[in-house]
Structure 1
């Protein structure tokens, strides 16, 4: 039997500090369950200490049968990946970049030399979406697709034969996800549906949250802010709602959309990044241009007023995301880690 590689997994592991769970946490946990020896770094809240912990962990790798997984984003975390990979190369340790940043295309354009240094030397480039795979292939980077996975059996499909304007939003309160748009959509929706409501689930430690809360209070809008909930808690809350709203300006393959599809929630989303590569407009979801209250409002009204078509899309979306069950994704990761 082939000896499995030891894995150092670098990324932001900050759920214990009130942030949403990231790849280094949920994929790292799965890799351990599959029998791999995995060290996950880093959970320090301070940015500098977290970065230094990653570098120190690379220096501590001693086994010749080791590999480093690096969650690679498009914002400043790109430089975590860049420097960590540089140190790994100096020590002769192979590394794999997991492409998570929805705006990595901009990084390729803005920092071509640094991008080439990072990506051309990687053992593998793993894209979570066809979108980023296509972007990287166009830049002549050999890239493999392994989507985000989840345990589909944890998600009970709820039939919604009638659709009320009860909206659920699940994300971090960050500007790139444009949470305020959801509240402005509700404000207009109430003119047609006075009983419309919005529940927003996500960590409340960012300036964008304060802007949302202030706007909702100023305009006396029926918005519930729950704070961060566990996966099980938000799955249970989802039963109370009939539409899942995604307002992001940039994205790759958001896990929340896949989970919403698994739960049978009709989806209205912005048509950005990797989303149209995952969900097809009018087949799995209703997709609209970003930052447009009018178009998002029209899509919600369409979902409410045409429940039969809405239900068909929900069924199609559920069938689609069943392909992302961990039982399928597992074999793809084992193949990559065995090469």
Structure 2
């Protein structure tokens, strides 16, 4: 089954301690990740949760992760490992290896739409990491289906979640070309497509405003976005990284959320936008169609197809009834992923 509770099978009288390994880098200006957010939530179940690591240097962080496993091996019952597709995959692999050497059950929590490519690119390391895990925890049905097809039958699906109370609903019906984009400035998220969409709308006579929220990293992708906006004469508001309360407050100034990614799994930012009542127009990639139904709770377009995304925007502007329907349906979808509902899938911790 794809959705089932996690049962860590603590023996009676054992110390119920979880070691959660991931990148705790919010203190260094990074967006909080699962180790910081889910780690706190698991504490609600009256377990002792140890989290690591907050070391800024990548090598020091890896060493800290490995030594945390060794240091806590006698008191820890299970180890949760945030697992990504890039260099952090090697962190997860080495932490999984350490857990196996010490006889500790570990649970990789699967993140990132590009993890599929990592499994294809590194099949042997993936088998060692995922086959030997107690369970692999997939945050979407899309990820779950992929892992099961690859032979990792020890995979369960526990969806991403939001705290719904933090997202005040504002129904949108009559909308303008006021676009909000929230993501990191990385090529796989294709931020330049958002600027291209704004340009197409502007050439069709619409007054456009585009706000792009995400950590401003001086990389090629960010520089290309700035240059493209200047070339196309699009006034883009680059806010830099904002906290969730900051960008959800900012969302009240915008009407439509656009998601332009090449690759995706189950993006929480899209779910948050739906909770806020923003109609979502997204590329139809990865796990997106598993929770957005075109014309019902969002609008979809092919990957890299700025023209179709602009057409979907115009469709919303021209059709207030459809827009209001999508706004309300998006909120209903988001309600399904409220922590108060999702936490039951982690209740197996309460043994």
TM-score range, shorter chain: over 0.9
Asked if the contact 1:9–1:39 (Cα under 8 Å) also holds between the matched residues in 2, the reply is yes
Mapped to 2, the partners of 1:22 and 1:62 lie a distance apart of 24
Unaligned runs of 5+ in 2: 1-11
Over 6 Å off, 4+ runs: none
Asked if the contact 1:127–1:145 (Cα under 8 Å) also holds between the matched residues in 2, the reply is yes
Q: For residues 188-223 of structure 1, what are the alpha-carbon distances to aligned partners after superposition, in whole Å with 9 as ceiling and x for unaligned?
A: 111124421100111102412222123223433111
Provide the residue aligned with 1:62 in structure 2: 73
Provide the residue aligned with 2:203 in structure 1: 191
Provide the residue aligned with 2:83 in structure 1: 72
Provide the residue aligned with 1:175 in structure 2: 187
Q: For residues 3-60 of structure 1, what are the alpha-carbon distances to aligned partners after superposition, in whole Å with 9 as ceiling and x for unaligned?
A: 6631111112222222222111111121223322122222222222211111111111
Provide the residue aligned with 2:3 in structure 1: none
**What is the CA-CA distance between 1:92 and the residue it aligns to?**
0.7
Does 2:264 align with 1:251? yes
Provide the residue aligned with 1:39 in structure 2: 50
Q: TM-score, normalised by structure 1?
A: 0.95
Q: How does 1:45-194 map to 2 (within 5 A)?
A: 45-142=56-153, 143-194=155-206
Asked if the contact 2:45–2:350 (Cα under 8 Å) also holds between the matched residues in 1, the reply is no
Q: How does 1:284-295 map to 2 (within 5 A)?
A: 284-295=297-308
Q: Give the number of equivalent residue pairs.
A: 338
Mapped to 1, the partners of 2:269 and 2:14 lie a distance apart of 35
Report the 3-state secondary structure (helix = DSSP H, G, I; strand = E; otherwise coil) of the residue aligned with 2:336: helix
**What is the CA-CA distance between 1:2 and the residue it aligns to?**
6.9
Provide the residue aligned with 1:261 in structure 2: 274
- Once the two structures are overlaid, the 10-residue window that deviates more, 54-63 or 318-327, is 54-63
Mapped to 2, the partners of 1:221 and 1:194 lie a distance apart of 12
Report the 3-state secondary structure (helix = DSSP H, G, I; strand = E; otherwise coil) of the residue aligned with 1:220: coil
Mapped to 2, the partners of 1:75 and 1:256 lie a distance apart of 20
Q: TM-score, normalised by structure 2?
A: 0.92
Q: For residues 117-165 of structure 1, what are the alpha-carbon distances to aligned partners after superposition, in whole Å with 9 as ceiling and x for unaligned?
A: 1111111111100001000111221211111112111111101120111
Give the superposed CA RMSD: 1.6
Unaligned runs of 5+ in 1: none
Mapped to 2, the partners of 1:194 and 1:222 lie a distance apart of 13
Provide the residue aligned with 1:216 in structure 2: 229
